[in-house]
Amino acid sequence: MVYPQIYLGHIPSTAAERIALRVRALDLRAALRAGPRSRPELDRTFALLNFAAGGVPSEAGGATTIELLLLRPHAAIVAAIRAYPGPIEVTPDGHWTDLTTGAAIRDERGRSPLQSVRAQRDAVRARLDQHAGSLLDPAAGSAVEAPSFARMVGALICAPDTHPESHISLDVEDHRQQLKILGLDELAGLAAMIRAGMQLSEGAMRWIVAELFEGQQWHDGERFLFELAPGRFQLRVLGDGDRPEVVVPLMEGDNIAGRRRSAQRYERRIILTGDDLISSDHARLSCADGDLVILSDTSKNGTWVTPPGGTEEWLHSAERAIALGTVLRMGMTQMRLERISEL
């Protein structure tokens, strides 16, 4: 089995949130796989994203959404993930400040991020403690004690890392309460160091994320097992001479069309071959919540756009919304934007 195994609680309702969550899952996987390796059993990692401690999605029951539960045989971490583009200051008396703007950093309830994390950690821990007896490994017999989650860590994770000019100083009580502030790049190291006085089997970790908190396996360590939203659009690449017609689905978020075959970072690529007039990265097609797709030309030669019932227009180093039925020409290759359900 390849780790981390990533599970998902509930699916966000908007495209922007779904796109961000997918990137978060991939960032988390990359950070954990880049971390220190020791004994194989310590690499067993289960992660649950976007869930509620009571098992009820926040949209339905008003419960607080918990962003991350990370489990290893000897460690349990509940975390919130935040992106702070500039430096922040955290003082021992609990004041959080954005040093770029001077504004206080608080959640919608007026709490500091670490106070919010502590409340989420305690809610998860309380539910785990209620069901600790269910986590015994039957193969080990009666000698195994129910795990204690008293030393479960609550963490505020800065993504992708903590700004180097940040000033962070926690109160002694925060340390005693197992509360941490760290960068995403430090998460694997923290998880490897923690010895929380528990011993969780692989079966127990899977039961926690899949049964107790009702998560669905989303990433098996190598690939996503399902998309968060079904594709709604496709490009029909029109045939020309000996080149057959091809239909390419567009995924939610950005789709990069061009001759380059290798993806960079988390790109979803539409590979167009047999036409030297097409740039390596010719255009970006972005799909979100509406019935329009945003086309951004990034090519040397531009993209020709023919809207339904309209005339061909040249787009170069610019973007525009395109409607269903629009015909695009990149180099000598033509393609038409369609809705998948039309087939």
Q: 42-58, pLDDT tens digit by residue?
A: 479 999 999 998 744 44
**pLDDT value at 61 more than 50:** no
Within 8 A by CB and 6+ apart from 49, the residues are: 6, 7, 8, 9, 21, 24, 25, 28, 67, 68, 218
Place of tokens 């539409």: 270
Residues 8, 25: Cα–Cα separation, whole Å: 10
Residues 325, 307: Cα–Cα separation, whole Å: 7
Return the higher-pLDDT residue of 304 and 148. Answer: 304
State the pLDDT confidence band at 142, using cuts at 50, 70 and 90. Answer: very low
Within 8 A by CB and 6+ apart from 62, the residues are: none
pLDDT at position 265: 86
**pLDDT value at 36 more than 80:** no
Reading the block at residue 62, the tokens are 């008003």
Tally of CB atoms within 10 A around 285: 23
Question: ω before 160 within 30° of 0 (cis)?
Answer: yes
**CATH no. for 233-342:** 2.60.200.20
Residues 89, 105: Cα–Cα separation, whole Å: 10
Place of tokens 């019935």: 291
Backbone angles phi, psi at 135, to 5 degrees: -100, 5
State the pLDDT confidence band at 60, using cuts at 50, 70 and 90. Answer: very low
Residues 5, 288: Cα–Cα separation, whole Å: 27
**pLDDT value at 318 more than 70:** yes
pLDDT at position 14: 94
Reading the block at residue 128, the tokens are 């785990």
**pLDDT value at 278 more than 70:** yes
Question: Average pLDDT of 293-304?
Answer: 97
The answer to whether 301 and 310 have CB atoms below 8 angstroms apart is: no
State the pLDDT confidence band at 59, using cuts at 50, 70 and 90. Answer: very low
Residues 332, 325: Cα–Cα separation, whole Å: 18
**Single-letter code of the amino acid located at 15:** A
Question: Average pLDDT of 26-50?
Answer: 81
The conformation of residue 330, written as its DSSP 8-state character, comes to E
pLDDT at position 62: 47
Q: What is the pTM of this model?
A: 0.88
Residues 205, 210: Cα–Cα separation, whole Å: 9
pLDDT at position 176: 92
Question: Average pLDDT of 314-340?
Answer: 96
Using CA atoms, how far residue 341 sits from 221, 230, 268, 294, in Å, is 31, 11, 21, 20
Reading the block at residue 149, the tokens are 């989650």
Place of tokens 């071959």: 273
**pLDDT value at 201 more than 60:** yes
Q: What are 218-276's pLDDT values in tens digits?
A: 999 999 999 999 889 999 999 887 788 999 999 999 999 999 999 888 999 999 998 99
Residues 171, 190: Cα–Cα separation, whole Å: 19
Residue limits of CATH 2.60.200.20 in the chain:
233-342
Average pLDDT over the chain, rounded to whole?
89
**pLDDT value at 145 more than 70:** no
Query: DSSP alpha helices (H): ranges in 165-300?
Result: 172-176, 187-193, 202-207
Q: What are 70-120's pLDDT values in tens digits?
A: 999 999 999 999 999 999 999 999 999 999 999 999 988 889 999 999 999
The conformation of residue 101, written as its DSSP 8-state character, comes to T
Within 8 A by CB and 6+ apart from 217, the residues are: 5, 6, 7, 210, 225
